[in-house]
Amino acid sequence: MNRIDALFARLKNEGRRALLPFITAGDPDLPTTAALITELVACGAHMIEIGIPYSDPIADGPVIAASYHRALERGTRLVHIFQTIRTLRAETSSGPLTVVPLVTMVSYAIIHRRGMDRFLREAVTAGIDGLIVPDLPVEESEGLAHQAMAMDLRLIQLVTPTTPRDRAIRIAQSTTGFLYYVSVAGITGERKALPPELAENVAWLRTQTVLPICIGFGISTSEHFRTLAPVADGLIVGSALVKRLADAEKLTRAQVVQDIGRFVAKLASALNDIDAS
């Protein structure tokens, strides 16, 4: 069974929700990325979303866009990212990471340039479980969705607050793994407050699909968790983590990894408390 499907089946049975941290591959370097994945799993992450650096990101705010540019300037390329993940999977073949899904946030331009078949084969070989392709419209996703499913990869698609409801239903019907609900209109980035209609929108979407629904964009605090936990199957935290990487230029790799690990551990503890209440 695909690791994403297995994870959500297990969490549903346990009455728990998933914590999904996002990190940019190669920021500040790929050895740190590998160390972070291991640390995040140890600190309570259920799944890791890995951003593939791209020079023209579609929906990413300044924090994540800057991390992409830093990674590209330092020479991070797709082949290096897949090799890092493949090595990490091999080195942790008997540990907790064996059951933790890894999903990539990747522009369709990268998939197209690589060639769909080649990209998917390399992703599977590396140990990737799912793809989030934010610039691929649902009308054009059938080919990728079909080939990905044939290789036991999941194609995770996005619904936004401005998505018309008939289109949201179509997106849900063509999605596998889980449905990514974007919490706010616009780009990624930390926010103090989330839209008051967010929970209602997600609650409606839940009536239209049996897929797990994970909420991302702007989520960074335990208060956000308490607001969204009643309607979410998973919560995605991105910019809050990536910003810590940008602010840690003078720290050693071990210090950076430890700092981000502590932050994720606090979020995991808050989510556990909510699930137990």
Return the structure tokens found at 260: 């981000």
Give the active site residue among 49, 129, 190, 233: 49
d(CA 144, CA 120): 9
Closest CA to 218 of 240, 199, 198: 240
* 49 noted as active-site residue: yes
Beta strands across the sheet bearing 213-216: 154-156, 130-132, 102-105, 48-51, 18-24, 234-237, 213-216, 179-182, 158-159
**How does DSSP assign 81-140, residue by residue?**
HHHHHHHHHHHTTTSGGGG--EEEE--HHHHHHH-HHHHHHHHHHHT--EEE-TT--GGG
Contacts of 203 (CB under 8 A, 6+ apart): 231
* 60 noted as active-site residue: yes
Give the active site residue among 39, 60, 122, 190: 60
Contacts of 160 (CB under 8 A, 6+ apart): 181, 182, 185
At residue 32, φ and ψ (nearest 5 deg) are -70, -40
Task: Fill in the amino acid letter for 124.
Answer: V
Which residues carry out catalysis? 49, 60
